[in-house]
Structure 1
Amino acid sequence: MGKKADIDWGKLGFEYMKTDLRYISVWKDGKWDEGKLTEDNMVSISEASTVIHYGQSCFEGLKAYTTKEGKIQLFRPDLNAERMNESCDKLLMPHVPEEKFIDAVMQVVKANEKYVPPYGSGATLYIRPYLMGVGHNIGVKPAPEYIFGVFCIPVGPYFKDGVSPCNYIVLDDYDRAAPHGTGGNKVGGNYAASLQAHAVAAEKGFADCIYLDPATHTKIEEIGAANFFGITKNDEFITPKSPSILPSITKRSLLYIAEHYLKMPVYEKEVLIDEIDQFKEAGACGTAAVITPIGGIHYKDNLHVFHSETEVGPITQKLYDLLLGIQLGDVEAPKGWIFEVK
């Protein structure tokens, strides 16, 4: 491994930092070009680009990790490629072939190797692939051209002082997505639509808001930009099932780990907000934090506390340790989960 960048890894947050190289590829006349690495971190597009006016865009988020032996590895990037193409189907954008997607991510990580935080620092390299409709187009229709890009930034641990619980609030006045809408896809508009609700939750002193299903407002769907899971008093791992939930790769991995590593019964099914007392532990899961334990949920003027507002539940902690251990190479991974960057 070469020399690392002069960065205080322990002080990193989750903020943009220009790294050396990023990847850009253009789709035009029905096909993708070869793509290239560039030092330029500015993207120039037509003022009539579909992404600006009609929100034709999607993105992904994944990380690169340094193992104890100094190897750099990716965690399930094939699932990010798969999910991006599901978003493309929803927004009538051309697929990025899985091989092209993974190759682009690999190129970017390799080209910015000095920014991949060392093992034991708690920091990781966050990778952001994106796809957007560009070109001259003012009508409400798919764009004539597309840009697929990938850049990366080193980011600090989500929890500076170890994993700690957060409290959330149910806001009945806000929906994250419409029934049969884009909730199951990682598209920009979903996140723009969540900003106001997040601000209201933060003003009230909560980490974020919990979104109920948009049709009936009786079932838990998502927690901010993360997926929900709960551990029942019978030690079952349960996570909500709905077409308007973004299919989290972290959640998919936790379902497997709970079942195969911890031998727990696992279920994806409807989770009624009125039945949260069945859970002795609960959490939010996603790429950034891996797992954020939920201390309590505020609903109808009542704060329902799970395991504790200050301590992490034992099963949640085990799940966190196992998944992070797999990502860092300290725990043996299921076949096909790890892609080494060479």
Structure 2
Amino acid sequence: MQNKYKGSKMKDLDWSNLGFSYIKTDYRFIAHWKEGKWDEGKLTTDNILHIHEGSTALHYGQQCFEGLKAYRCKDGSINLFRPQENAKRMQHTADRLLMPQVPTELFIRACKEVVKANEEWLGPYGSGATLYLRPFLIGVGENIGVKAAPEFIFSVFCCPVGAYFKGGLAPSNFITTEYDRAAPMGTGGVKVGGNYAASLLPHILAAEEGSAERKFADAIYLDPKTHTKIEEVGAANFFGITKDNKFVTPKSKSILPSITKYSLLYIAKERLGMEAIEGDVYIDQLDQFAEAGACGTAAVISPVGGIQHKGKFHVFYSETDVGPITRKLYNELTGIQFGDIEAPEGWIVKVE
């Protein structure tokens, strides 16, 4: 397939039918922290990491990651969406785990270099395909004690991914779990791998609770102190649209601060004229919401059809149709990401 953009070639992939899975691309970026400083970093074709067997990332979970996407615009240019916010979040996580911060300049430069080096893996405008970037930071080096690593690796790789919803935006159902995603003062507010490892079992159990008539996509995590308030929906943030047109999303120190969520809070207030609120969302007060959704980098928005809690199933707008406000939010945000709608200042970084 010949890419009409800049005369460059494009990989021969079925862009409209890509899933969300690992596909080896040509280049990734890697930088090393040693003796108190980062090196310049470089692109490499090697997708295998060679690390010491005593690395803290392997034994004590001293590691974190981020996720963001590159988007092909109608004019052929390439957008990164708010990468500085991903850099800030990784820096916050690094502080929590006693890892060296990756400077924002290094983080964004790495992302840009990876996108430019793998531009053939970014699909055409209109296909729904994007280039998913996975920056990560791990503790490595010779070690056996429970302490911070002597060395660290920062790397960014990428994979082409397709539109999350095949056949269009579609609601999913969820069920609450007795498992806690994070402790009240633990690592729930930072993007560490242990949070996701702990979610694997609740996810499987949630799926097993479903039936042929009603399937559950994932678990709803309640606040770890009281189990009365919604915190997260699987690996995504929750939001609801009240019957009096307010955008409401949970607020808690154990919720990962989603860049997508904060973008939607802004859009709801500034673009749709809604009152935007971060506050408590009680599981026994779902009747206040006309619509609900989960948000994150992969899906942008996953409409929530219904939530089951203690044997009672609550339907929001519909189990089969997407609510009008949810659709407006989705269209506005994706329009900004793909360059079709003017972005708020600073939200878009061009890859040139």
Tell me the TM-score normalized by structure 2. Answer: 0.96
Q: Deviations over 1:215-243 (max 9, x none)?
A: 11000000000000000000000000000
Root-mean-square deviation (CA, aligned residues, Å) is 0.5
Letter in 2 for 1:203: E
Matched, 1:326 2:332: no
Q: Distance in 1 between matches of 2:156 and 2:50?
A: 15
Residue 6 (structure 1) shift: 1.0
Give 1:52-63 correspondences, 5 Å limit: 52-63=58-69
Task: Show the counterpart of 1:129.
Answer: 135
1:182 aligns with 2:187: yes
| Cα distance between partner residues in 2 of 1:12 and 1:202 | 23
Residue of structure 2 in register with 1:117 after alignment: 123
The one-letter amino acid paired with 1:149 is S
- What do the CA deviations read for 1:33-85 (whole angstroms, capped 9, x no partner)? 11000000000000000000000000000000001111111000000000000
- Aligned equivalents of 1:178 and 1:325: distance in 2? 37
| Partner in structure 2 of residue 150 of structure 1 | 156
Quick one: percent identity of the two aligned structures? 67
C-alpha distance in structure 2 between counterparts of 1:224 and 1:289, whole Å: 12
CA distance in 2, matches of 1:244, 1:276: 21
1:117 is displaced (CA, Å) by 1.1
Match of 1:25 among 20, 25, 31: 31
1:203 aligns with 2:208: yes
Aligned to 1:238: 248
What do residues 112-136 of structure 1 show as CA deviations (whole Å, max 9, x unaligned)? 0001111000111000000000000
The code of the aligned residue for 1:301 comes to G
Note if 1:259 corresponds to 2:264.
Answer: no
> What residue identity is the alignment partner of 1:131?
L
Task: Please say if 1:297 is aligned against 2:311.
Answer: no
The letter for the 2-side match of 1:178 is A
Distance 1:307 1:73 in 2: 33
Segments of 4+ moved more than 2 angstroms: none
Q: Tell me the number of residue pairs that the alignment of Structure 1 and Structure 2 aligns.
A: 341
1:45 — aligned with what? 51
Letter in 2 for 1:11: N
- Amino acid corresponding to residue 134 of structure 1 in structure 2: V
Match of 2:293 in 1: 283
Q: CA deviation at 1:10?
A: 1.6
Alignment partner, residue 73 of structure 1? 79
Q: Name the amino acid aligned to 1:250.
A: T
| Structure 1 unmatched ranges of 5 or more | none
Q: Give, as a single letter, the amino acid of the residue that structure 1 aligns with 2:92.
A: E
Q: What displacement does 1:202 show?
A: 1.1
Amino acid at match of 1:302: K
Deviation at 1:203, TM superposition (A): 1.1
Instruction: Name the counterpart of 1:217.
Output: 227
AA paired with 1:119? Answer: Y
- Given residue 262 of structure 1, which amino acid in structure 2 is its aligned partner? L
Gaps of 5+ in 2: 1-5, 211-215
Answering whether residue 112 of structure 2 is matched by residue 102 of structure 1, we say no
One-letter code aligned to 1:254: L
Q: Distance in 1 between matches of 2:344 and 2:138?
A: 33
CA distance in 1, matches of 2:335, 2:16: 19
- Partner in structure 1 of residue 145 of structure 2: 139
Superposition deviation, residue 257 in structure 1: 0.2
**Secondary structure of the corresponding residue to residue 27 of structure 1:** strand
Which of 15, 24, 43 does residue 21 from structure 2 map onto?
15
Check if 1:192 corresponds to 2:192: no
- What corresponds to 1:171 in structure 2? 177
- Bigger shift: residues 2-11 or 192-201: 2-11
Question: Quick one: distance in 1 between partners of 2:135 and 2:123?
Answer: 19
Letter of the 1:288 partner, please give it: A
Separation in 1, partners of 2:69, 2:177: 31
Shift of 1:171: 1.1
Does residue 316 of structure 1 match 2:326?
yes
Cα distance in 1, alignment partners of residues 232 and 21 from structure 2: 24
